[in-house]
């Protein structure tokens, strides 16, 4: 085999190794990207109670332990989120905010 033939053979074999390395790196990066896009499992998502569940719960507890569910739109978003809180907490928060507003307006 001539010198040129051996040189071409070396270049082709080196290029093949580089292509295999690049392709294996691309496969690993693609798999990593796909794993990052997987939706959270059932254990990571807390579902708010349905209206029927809220009604059933409220029928069994004392008035101060009843819950109220509202659909609220968070600041900076247009997507409504259902929030459930104790009625007592809602009342206490409202009183607190009214007092803060009165202090600010004095």
The helix, strand and coil proportions of the chain, stated in percent and rounded to the nearest 5, come to: 65, 10, 25
Q: Summarize the confidence of residues 56-78 as an average pLDDT.
A: 92
Q: What is the pLDDT of residue 54?
A: 92
**In 3-state terms, what secondary structure has residue 37?**
coil
Higher model confidence: residue 44 or residue 58? 58
Q: What is the distance between the alpha carbons of residues 1 and 93, in angstroms, rounded to a whole number? A: 89
The pLDDT of residue 41 is above 60: no
pLDDT bracket for residue 30 (50, 70, 90): confident
Share of the chain above pLDDT 90, in %: 47
Q: Summarize the confidence of residues 43-66 as an average pLDDT.
A: 86
Burial of 13-41, coded b for 16+ CB within 10 Å and e otherwise, reads eeeeeeeeeeeeeeeeeeeeeeeeeeeee
Q: What are phi and psi of 71, to 5 degrees?
A: -100, 115
The pair of structure tokens assigned to 46 is 């807390």
The pair of structure tokens assigned to 13 is 């074999």
């Amino acid at each position: 085999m001539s010198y040129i033939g051996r040189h071409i053979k070396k270049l082709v074999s080196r290029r093949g190794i580089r292509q295999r390395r690049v392709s294996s790196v691309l496969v690993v990066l693609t798999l990593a990207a796909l794993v990052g896009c997987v939706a959270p499992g059932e254990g990571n998502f807390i579902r708010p109670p349905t209206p029927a569940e809220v009604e059933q719960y409220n029928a069994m507890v004392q008035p101060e332990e009843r819950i109220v569910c509202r659909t609220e739109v968070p600041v900076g978003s247009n997507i409504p989120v259902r929030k459930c809180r104790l009625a007592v907490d809602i009342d206490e928060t409202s009183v607190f905010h009214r007092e803060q507003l009165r202090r600010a307006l004095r």
